[in-house]
A = this chain, B = another copy of it.
Amino acid sequence: MTYRAPINDILLALNHGAGLQAALKAGHYGDFDAEMTAQVLEEAGRFATDVLAPLNRIGDQNGIKLKDNKVTTAPGWPGAYQRWIDAGWNAVSGPEAFGGQGLPLAVNAACTEIWSASNMAFGLCPLLTLSAIEALDAHGSEELKKIYLEKLVTGEWTGTMQLTEPQAGSDVGALRSRAERQADGTYRVFGTKIFITYGDHDMTDNIVHFVLARLPDAPAGTKGISLFLIPKFLVNADGSLGARNDIYASGVEHKLGMHASPTCTMTMGDAGGAIGYLIGEENRGMLCMFTMMNQARLGVGLEGVGIADRAYQQALAFAQERKQGRGIGSKTQGMDPIMVHPDVKRMLMQMRSLTAAARTICYATAVALDVAARSPDAETRTKAAARGALLTPIAKAFSTDIGNEVTSLGVQIHGGMGFIEETGAAQHYRDARITAIYEGTNGIQSIDLVTRKLAVAGGASVWALLDELNGIVARVEGSNDPAFGTTGAKLRDALGSLERSSKWLLEKMASAPNDALAGATPYLRLFGSALGGCMLANEALAAREREGDSARYVSVARFFAENIAVQAGALERTVMDSADAVMAADSALLG
């Protein structure tokens, strides 16, 4: 079945759960017109349904092919990419000075969810280009920007990010690709990169590679890494394409999912070295990487949201259609649709509420990053930057964890059919699996949350967030709406657990850092559960203030509070009590 963007849910999450409306009112977005949001998303939804969704299964089945160092994408993909550029979708949040529309990241975040839901393997290509745009815009010379930036913004050329080498995965500092200075100010780059997404393809006539490498006299580790722009084809002074550069796709991976997205081994230097141009300063490549990390991680979180929503839509349709057994007290003739069974209802509500919570967390991260970049007020920018930094690892890890859970529930609802590839539920399950790994594994996100985000200024940004969340809980309780059930109590407990765990971790970071690290993953889950629960409750409160159809949002918020946020207490105990057992792993498991 196809995918339809849930525009109403997205708008409620964006405007109310994530705070876009409040940020607009506060003037942080300048003259950006809020009316546009709905229009852009409606159009994005149409493009996703009409152009991208129909190619999702074709891409999975055909995969990509490598021959003579050239990657061919699946049938229909180059044509779809051309329509993508023509419709201007690549340029949504790109800088206006280089042909972009300059729309808020928050709007682009909703679009990214929509692209990922309709066709995650396709959507990954522009996501990578976006990172390239960010790096070049922030750190590139005016000359490089002039030649490359507009082409990347429009999508006429795509970008790649090349960090990983066989011995350097999570530990980027271990990379060995080398760059040699040339007399003309360019560099010659030599080495092999692995796991390079869209390292080669046939959808555009040039590809702009962003490659990390090490100069001969560079210090060891991350402080000796430089960033280079290496075009697939060199560009002549008049903008036309020149010679083929010495960077080639020499292998492609056979993967669990994302079959349509080429994952390449890239070889540089077989013919004298790839000609590269320095981005930023020598040995400051990691800094360039860090500036774009928030957006890239958020993008992957949105992949988790998108694939979860896709799986949910398919499972919901199946549950209404497939008939097996009879509900208790059913008065129909014959079998009922399986949605009558409470256990199926539970799975569907779980899918829906986890997806909705992750969506709002991601959108709220985007709003914070927007305000940090756009507000005229310096203090507001600083606070928003801290908020965005805090939320980013949660947006990435919580959303991709639930992406895996939700796509698994999608398979489960299909029963035996779910295990058959033809059904399509299994593809979502396969595709989702990488999101918890790439762009920093979810374990690394948890460590980032504890060691770099929580720890800033004695937890200041956590305490500020807790204040806001407690305010939401007070409003839920003040509503006296019985439809909320035990939502208020569950969320209050969850916030208590979050506060105590945060304090405990702050203390341990100083006294016993390994104990803090041992609790990082349950802490992130606790954080996401408490935060997501409050955000959904906030959305439900906003929906109640409008006309009409609010009951569904209250039910979703309630389900989340009573089934997901309620786990916070156990997670708190896990954070605080289990470091000894974790650190006993060597003696328990080895020898």
A contact residues vs B (CB 8 Å cutoff): 164, 167, 169-171, 174, 195, 253-258, 316, 320, 323-325, 328, 335, 339, 341-349, 352, 404, 408, 411-412, 415-416, 418-422, 426, 429-430, 433-434, 436-438, 441-443, 446-447, 485-486, 490, 513-514, 517-518, 520-522, 551-552, 555-556, 558-559, 562-563, 566-570, 573-574, 577-590
Contacts and interface: CB of A to CB of B under 8 A. Distances in A.
B552 A578 contact: no
A573 B577 contact: no
B255 A342 contact: no
A76 to B, nearest CB: 21
A24 B171 CA distance: 54
A570 B328 CA distance: 27
Please tell me how many copies of the chain the complex holds.
Answer: 2
A328 B486 CA distance: 42
B171 A335 contact: yes
A164 B416 contact: yes
B411 A443 contact: no
Q: Is the interface of A mostly helix, strand, loop or mixed?
A: helix
Top 3 closest pairs, chain A to chain B, by CB: A345-B585, A555-B588, A559-B581
A417 to B, nearest CB: 8
B566 A517 contact: no
A318 to B, nearest CB: 12
Contact of A551 (B328, B419, B587): B587
A443 to B, nearest CB: 4
A563 B574 contact: yes
A336 to B, nearest CB: 10
Contact of A577 (B169, B347, B426, B486): B486
A522 B590 CA distance: 33
Best-surrounded residue of A167, A346, A578 (most CB of chain B within 10 A): A346
Nearest to A558: B581
Contacts of A416: 164, 169, 195, 437-438
Contacts of A421: 254-256
22 contacts: A174-B335, A253-B419, A253-B420, A254-B421, A255-B421, A256-B419, A256-B421, A257-B419, A320-B590, A339-B585, A341-B443, A342-B517, A344-B443, A346-B582, A412-B441, A416-B438, A418-B437, A555-B581, A558-B584, A559-B584, A562-B573, A566-B574
Contacts of A422: 253-254
A590 B170 CA distance: 43
Best-surrounded residue of A339, A343, A426 (most CB of chain B within 10 A): A343
A426 to B, nearest CB: 4
A430 B419 CA distance: 9
A555 B574 contact: no
Contact of A348 (B518, B578, B585): B585
A324 B556 contact: no
A320 B591 CA distance: 12
Best-surrounded residue of A341, A404, A520, A556 (most CB of chain B within 10 A): A341
A578 B556 contact: no
B441 A415 contact: yes
A454 B520 CA distance: 37
B589 A552 contact: yes
A170 to B, nearest CB: 5
Given A443-B343, A581-B562, A169 B404 contact: no
A214 to B, nearest CB: 16
Given A316-B589, A555-B588, A562-B578, 18 more contacts: A171-B325, A195-B416, A255-B419, A255-B420, A342-B518, A342-B520, A343-B518, A346-B521, A352-B588, A412-B442, A415-B437, A415-B441, A552-B589, A558-B584, A559-B584, A559-B588, A562-B581, A563-B574
Contacts of A559: 578, 581-582, 584, 588
B349 A585 contact: yes
A521 B563 CA distance: 12
B170 A345 contact: no
Contacts of A169: 324, 415-416
A66 to B, nearest CB: 15
Given A422-B254, A574-B562, A574-B563, A345 B583 contact: yes
Contacts of A167: 323
Contacts of A257: 419
B436 A412 contact: yes
B585 A415 contact: no
A328 B509 CA distance: 12
A426 B344 contact: no
Nearest to A256: B426
A411 B580 CA distance: 25
A324 B521 contact: no
Contact of A587 (B323, B555, B578, B589): B555
Contacts of A590: 320
Nearest to A553: B588
A411 B433 contact: yes
Nearest to A578: B562
A171 B582 contact: no
Nearest to A574: B563
Contact of A588 (B323, B415, B551): B551
Contact of A447 (B343, B442, B513, B589): B343
Contacts of A563: 522, 574, 578, 581
A156 B329 CA distance: 48
A486 B422 CA distance: 48
B412 A437 contact: yes
